[in-house]
Amino acid sequence: MKHQNAGCGGHDDAAQTLQQALARITAEISPVEGFELLATRDALDRVLYAPIHSTVDVPAHTNSAMDGYALAGAQLPGDGSRAFRVIGTAWAGRPFDGTAGEGECVRIMTGATVPAGTDTVVMQEQVQRESDTAIIGTGHKPGQNVRFAGEDLKAGAIALDAGVLLRPAHLGLIASLGVGEVRVRRRPRVAFFSTGDELASIGETLGPGQIYDSNRYTLYGMLQRLGVEVIDLGVVRDRREDLEQAFLAAAAQADAVITSGGVSVGEADFVTETLDRIGEVGFWTVAIKPGRPIAFGRVGGALFFGLPGNPVSVMVTFYQLVQPALQRLKGLTAPEIVPRVTATLTTPLRKKAGRREFQRGLLSVAADGGYRVEATGRQGSGILRSMAHANCFIVLPEDCGSLDAETEVEVQPFAALC
């Protein structure tokens, strides 16, 4: 990582676009090393460390996809109908051990092994049953309603590749192979702290000019949902020596360090100054609103993300920049896709061209099934209530100006974020 030439106030003169910042961050990150061996049931939401190969065919035997009658497809009637003698029943887990011959069929249940002499299943609703006779008409094809052995997975094939985030369906697939333990990549360790003399922790009495530190609680919640190992280092005061010690202590025990506050150009904003001295700087600013002053670099062997101090800016920069980075650090082969939808504004929005904006909105479904969205009041970066009452970001491109009501906009639902 090369040091960014500093401009006015220790910051770069030309802010990165969001896409440029993401590209630079991605280029700097490799997944953490090391793995844990976990019981399959305990591996939910963890990242697979090594491929899982199937030791068996899946399904293990050719079986019926539904309840019906099994017969040889070559005996299906070309026109009219044909009567077949029912010679037995095949149950799931209790195969029929005979062989169906000419003009014979076997009653079969879903999941049961297809009996010898048969290769086709006609669903029971399409069969007329009269005593021990099944009458089958036209419109059927040989091989229908049968799941062939190994059609899902052949023995020896890769069932799941490394880098997969294990979801419930993955656990089911792993269990279907008889695998009881899996290797998952260890969780990245992420240390974080807030900076500022004005901050007080919950339980402390507020002094003159002090406020309670909300950012650590917001960051804790976002990090917990992301599934990393969280190290909360509290509040660090605006003193150079305190910040330097905090940085070094954090970097010694974590893969990534996140701070909030102290990355602007104020006289007491020592985070960037400290990082300049003991670490490496990638960039200082990104052309987004809120959240323009954000630092990215390294300190010791750890990645560093210096987020703004305003509460909404913390959340915007985390979701748009830090979360994709930590997903890559976790070992995901591709970042989780955050879907966006198009919605119609119910009220006008004010914006100046030049930066990508993430305004807080309330997304709803209209009577016609389309989406509508309205801003959640004042959009200042210090108004955390606008985030608490919102359920989405209204994403406004860099070249976009103010918008009238009934304009279509792109919306990023919070439900799609971790």
Tokens of 377: 């009041």
In this predicted structure, what is the pLDDT of residue 13?
44
In this predicted structure, what is the pLDDT of residue 5?
38
Tokens of 320: 């748009």
3 state SS of 193 = strand
Show me where the domains of the chain are located.
Answer: 8-33+187-330, 35-58+151-185, 63-147, 341-416
- Model pLDDT for residues 149-158, shown as the tens digit of each residue: 999 889 999 9
- Model pLDDT for residues 113-151, shown as the tens digit of each residue: 999 999 999 999 999 999 999 999 999 999 999 999 999
- Model pLDDT for residues 35-81, shown as the tens digit of each residue: 999 999 999 999 999 999 998 898 999 999 999 999 999 999 999 99
What mean pLDDT comes out for the span 337-364?
A: 91
What mean pLDDT comes out for the span 169-180?
A: 93
DSSP string, 353-391: TTSEEEEEEEEEE-TTS-EEEEE-S---TT-THHHHT-S
Tell me which architecture the domain covering 341-416 has in CATH: Beta Barrel (2.40)
d(CA 283, CA 411): 27
What mean pLDDT comes out for the span 305-332?
A: 92
Does the pLDDT value for residue 310 go beyond 70?
yes
- Model pLDDT for residues 185-222, shown as the tens digit of each residue: 999 999 999 988 888 888 888 888 888 888 999 999 99
DSSP string, 241-302: HHHHHHHHHHHHH-SEEEEES--SS-TT--HHHHHHHHEEEEEEEBSEES--EEEEEEETTE
Q: Which CATH superfamily is domain 35-58+151-185 in?
A: Molybdopterin biosynthesis moea protein, domain 2 (3.90.105.10)
In this predicted structure, what is the pLDDT of residue 198?
84
384 C-beta neighbours (distance < 10 Å), count: 18
Q: Which CATH superfamily is domain 8-33+187-330 in?
A: MoaB/Mog-like domain (3.40.980.10)
Residue type, 58: V
In this predicted structure, what is the pLDDT of residue 3?
46
pTM value is: 0.82
Tell me which architecture the domain covering 63-147 has in CATH: Beta Complex (2.170)
Q: 396-417 burial by CB neighbour count: b if 16+ within 10 A, else e?
A: beeebeebeeeeebebbbbeeb
- The DSSP symbol for 39 reads E
- Model pLDDT for residues 217-263, shown as the tens digit of each residue: 999 999 999 999 999 999 888 788 888 999 999 999 999 999 988 66
Percent over 90 (pLDDT), the chain = 67
In this predicted structure, what is the pLDDT of residue 267?
44
